[in-house]
Amino acid sequence: MKLPILLVLFSTLAIYCPASEPDTARTNLLQRHREYQAEGNLFNDYLLLTQAAEKYKNEKAYGYLADTHNKLGNLFDHLNETEPALKNFEQAEKYFKEIGDSISTTKIKLNIANCYFKQGEEDKALSILLSLESNPITRQDTGYHASVLFSLLRSLLNADDMDAYRHYIDVLAKLPITDSIIEYKRNTHIGFYHYLRKEYPASIELYREALAEAEKRDDPTIANCILGLIYNYTAIQQYDSATVYWNKYYTVKESTEHITYASQIKRMESLNTIKNYEMQIQQEQEKRRLLQQIIILAFALIVLIVVGIIIILRNKKRQERMEQELKEAKNRELTTLLENERLQNESRKLELENQNRRLCFNLMILEEKANALKSIQQQITDANESGKVPADIARTIDTQIKYHLQDATNWHAFKEAFEKIHPTFFQKLKSKYPNLSEHELRFCAFACSGLDSKQIAFILNIQIESIRKIRQRLRKKLGLNPTESLEELLRDFSN
């Protein structure tokens, strides 16, 4: 407990030591603030800002105080602590009003609106944003105007007000933006608008420009740009291009996942340190008040006796509290470990489902190509028989189609890819049910991959009724009750 007390005393002394040059002190504070931000040292940044806020409040330097509260609000917003972030932004707004800074008073409202939106108070956020968009101060600053429109468009989409959404998309499109970062953010918004209107070529062009800029800056929003392209290519049935971007999306996701996870852990550690520090400050304040009471009561002997009893009881209570806190800390650690294990299991499950979907998607494309080749083969045969196509040309085309059909309908290629994802599936299934035929094993693999009866019928080129018969026969061999799920049983063998 001595270390927090010393920390508080030294920090208090640092605040109230008179500076020879106020501007120099302010410059040093800003420099340290930027250094802590660059290092990700949020706790020391929090200490610096809270001490500066107390100093500026005592000096009645409300301009600096408002700016400090704004920085504190941004810090808590980065930690996803919306309530203290909103409190600091509102304090900043109050002090900006007191000094008559109308520009800063207006601009801080965007932060307040975003906090309301995160808290689920969408109506408040939307009201503030609409007022900001029509404010002359907002329209004098193109970059700030664009930021207001970005938040406003998000709120209007959430409110499902498409007429207003279209109007402000037009406003955003006409802004004379020169900053490349704001430009590519605008491209993503307008690209999504074109996607909603099914104007896919225009949407694809804007998403490509945004993706190029995001890749150049190594921006975290690169994944959103890739998803926008995937949705567009899927909508226009260009599945090859969609597949390329799916692969790119998973590569980007895997490369940034550990960075995001480490950043989240660091933010949580900083938040816990800040909360513990605030608790220690509160405890020290309570101790100081108690100490003052003890000094006053120390003039009487009876009070000294009472104080002695209080100290004994207080130490005992503190010991019990420390033991209780230790127990709670262990419980929290255990809970965290269990939660991490659960998240890891869910992550592995999602990855497995994604691999199954990609496998099924590729198989469906192969089968679709195979069916198309068979149709062309039949047309060539019919044309040859009717004399519309020379026999030698018909034979050449038929040979080429048969060659490609061998690759397009290769069950062994699917089986090899499936076994890479579920290496023990067939081994476990054959071990427990040795009487299953090769055809039934193939059906089990398709069902385990998430294909429904229609898709399996399409791949095997049989009627849906045949699939139902195969399913009934398979359920009987596996000994399933009417209430039991075949797919769930097969997924157990895939683990």
Segment-wise mean pLDDT, segments of 10 residues, the chain, 495 residues: 36 36 73 81 83 88 89 86 90 91 91 91 90 90 90 88 90 86 86 88 88 79 84 89 84 59 51 64 73 78 86 88 86 82 70 61 61 69 70 70 53 78 86 88 85 82 87 89 87 81
What pLDDT, on the 0 to 100 scale, is given for residue 252? Answer: 75
- Of the chain, the end-to-end C-alpha distance in Å amounts to 50
Question: pLDDT value at position 8?
Answer: 34
Domain boundaries, the chain: 273-355, 360-494
DSSP state letter for 23: H
What count of residues does the chain have?
495
| Angstrom distance (rounded) from CA 216 to CA 88 | 35
Q: What gap in Å lies between CA 19 and CA 47, rounded to an integer?
A: 19
Q: Which of 93, 160, 87 is nearest to 132 (CA)?
A: 93
Angle at 27 between CA 25 and CA 33, to 5 degrees: 100
CA–CA distance, 18 with 371 (Å, rounded to integer): 84
Neighbours of 128 (CB within 10 A): 21
pTM score > 0.75 for this model? no
Return d(Cα 315, Cα 317) in angstroms, integer: 5
For 215, the token pair is 């890749």
Angle, CA of 275, 276 and 282, to the nearest 5°: 90
